Structure 1
Amino acid sequence: MAVTPAPTRADAEPPEAVILADVGELEDLLLEAVARFDDADVRAPSTLPGWSRGHVLAHLTSLATAFTRQAELASRGELGEVYDGGREERDAAIEAAAGRDAEEHLAHLEAALVRLSASWPDDSAGWAAPVTFRSGTLSVVLDAWWREVALHAIDLECGITAGAWSPEACERLWDFLSQRLPESAADIELVGAPRDVLLWLAGREPVHAPTARRAGAEVPLPELEPWPRRQPRTPSR
């Protein structure tokens, strides 16, 4: 498939330490933005239908806690569910926490990020430990967390844009989100700024909408498949 490529990184596979540093920078930007919110700000709508900023913050806090558990279990050679009670309990927890005031959201999110950071393995072998999340490894969890922070920071409309995404983050997002392109789009070229293409693939509003071409002629953008439920089989990293 011919597409506008995402920004490229060095040919060498980046170690998880590079990924951790990158997501850490995004987390810092997120916390700085949330620290500026007042109570009215967290009650205001996010870009996600039906969700306030409080819902997005509650989701990120809850997910950080869930991923911390995945990491801690993996370090002991154990497996456990991402959320007790599955999707239903996850959704109920987000609704319950969405109404926190701005100070509470910041405190809970910051504490969750500290715990998550402390739970990541400090050796390369630890990243290969199996987890129940997507039936993958702890490296898969880290990739997912990177995506979640990158996308939901934009959903908050807090001044963070796709311009904050590093080339590594863009490449990982492409690996994952390009799975949404249908097989019928195999001969289509997506034309647009790389980050705008990624925003469109993620179901977000691009700065400038990409277009599609087939054999040099402009055609409608393809209908995207549902959100991927698996990691790409051959990630570019």
Structure 2
Amino acid sequence: MAVNAETTPAIPAPAALAHAAADADAALGALIDVVRTLPDDAGSAPSPLEGWTRGHVLSHVTNVGAALARQAEYAARGEKVAPYDGGQAGRDAGIEAGAARTVAEHVAALEASRARLAAAWPAPDDALWSAPVAYRDGVLADALLAWWREARIHAADATAGLDDRTLGSGSWDEAFCAHLGDFLAVRLPDAGAGLALVGDPRDVAAWLAGRAPSGPVSATRDGAPVPLPELGPWPSSAAPRP
């Protein structure tokens, strides 16, 4: 998998936007189905994310879904709003507040975010996708792509060890892996200049996301094998668009 850190200003085509919205919704629907089957104390189980229980991950999915739906709701009115009231502190407090929900409460909260997102996104061919939003100082298409990443990656985190086949990184499709590779290329030293990551695209995408891949991932630079580099931080500016 070659790494391309270049950005392009074009909004994704309507078909790509439709796929991102549908695949994110499918991930959330499958996550809800898994959570519905869990015992009531399942939220207290550890997750793969340091310091977070499964309940923290589920609370975050609920809250980030609502935050990104809010970007679309305000964009439709020609307005911008911060994703979270209270900024980073408000985000963190919201995650903590929801982490101890019962399974039934998690399901209800996730379903409410799912319905809100479905109502908020415009049609794939709507010009609203280029409307400015506060999230990452981008446009509404960036908010949708962010939700796609959040839904797919955190659905895998929340169900790790429970349903890896349905929601683990092995379930990520080609389009999602390509998008994640573009978005996360900036985590590589020198933005991946001359570097190629070798492995199944799903494993490469998982490794770039800081998750344990199912299969081997290696690297070459200008055709010669090199050690895998240390990943930099998660991107902090608007996402490169595929």
TM-score by length of 1: 0.89
Q: Which moved more, 1:164-173 or 1:194-203?
A: 164-173
Match of residue 200 from structure 1: 207
How many angstroms apart in 2 are the aligned matches of 1:37 and 1:64? 22
How many angstroms apart in 1 are the aligned matches of 2:195 and 2:127? 40
1:58 partnered with 2:59: yes
Q: Which moved more, 1:45-54 or 1:119-128?
A: 119-128
SS at match of 2:41: helix
How many angstroms apart in 2 are the aligned matches of 1:169 and 1:194? 10
In the TM superposition, what is the alpha-carbon distance from 1:146 to its structure 2 partner? 0.1
8 Å Cα contact 2:58-2:99 kept in structure 1: yes
1:112 partnered with 2:113: yes
Match of residue 128 from structure 2: 126
8 Å Cα contact 2:170-2:203 kept in structure 1: no
Match of residue 74 from structure 1: 75
How many angstroms apart in 2 are the aligned matches of 1:188 and 1:3? 7
TM-score by length of 2: 0.87
**Structure 1 residues 130 and 214: alpha-carbon distance in aligned structure 2, compared to 1, 3 A threshold:** closer
How many angstroms apart in 2 are the aligned matches of 1:166 and 1:208? 16
Match of residue 143 from structure 1: 145
Count how many residue pairs are aligned between Structure 1 and Structure 2.
Answer: 228
How many angstroms apart in 2 are the aligned matches of 1:218 and 1:101? 49
In the TM superposition, what is the alpha-carbon distance from 1:124 to its structure 2 partner? 1.4
1:231 partnered with 2:238: yes
Q: Which runs of 5+ in 1 are unaligned?
A: 6-11
User: CA deviation digits over 1:139-162, x for unaligned, max 9?
Assistant: 100000000011001111131212
8 Å Cα contact 1:200-1:209 kept in structure 2: no
**Structure 1 residues 232 and 110: alpha-carbon distance in aligned structure 2, compared to 1, 3 A threshold:** closer
8 Å Cα contact 1:200-1:206 kept in structure 2: yes
Q: Which moved more, 1:72-81 or 1:118-127?
A: 118-127
Tell me which amino acid in the other structure corresponds to 2:207: W
In the TM superposition, what is the alpha-carbon distance from 1:15 to its structure 2 partner? 4.0
User: CA deviation digits over 1:118-138, x for unaligned, max 9?
Assistant: 111135112111110011111
Match of residue 216 from structure 2: 209
Tell me which amino acid in the other structure corresponds to 1:84: D
Q: Which moved more, 1:124-133 or 1:23-32?
A: 23-32
* CA RMSD in angstroms, aligned pairs only: 2.0
How many angstroms apart in 2 are the aligned matches of 1:84 and 1:34? 27
In the TM superposition, what is the alpha-carbon distance from 1:184 to its structure 2 partner? 7.4
Match of residue 8 from structure 1: none
Q: 2:193 aligns with which of 172, 176, 186?
A: 186
How many angstroms apart in 2 are the aligned matches of 1:92 and 1:42? 17
Match of residue 179 from structure 2: 172
Q: Which runs of 5+ in 2 are unaligned?
A: 5-11
**Structure 1 residues 215 and 15: alpha-carbon distance in aligned structure 2, compared to 1, 3 A threshold:** closer
Tell me which amino acid in the other structure corresponds to 1:3: A
How many angstroms apart in 2 are the aligned matches of 1:165 and 1:211? 19
Calculate percent identity across the aligned residue pairs: 46
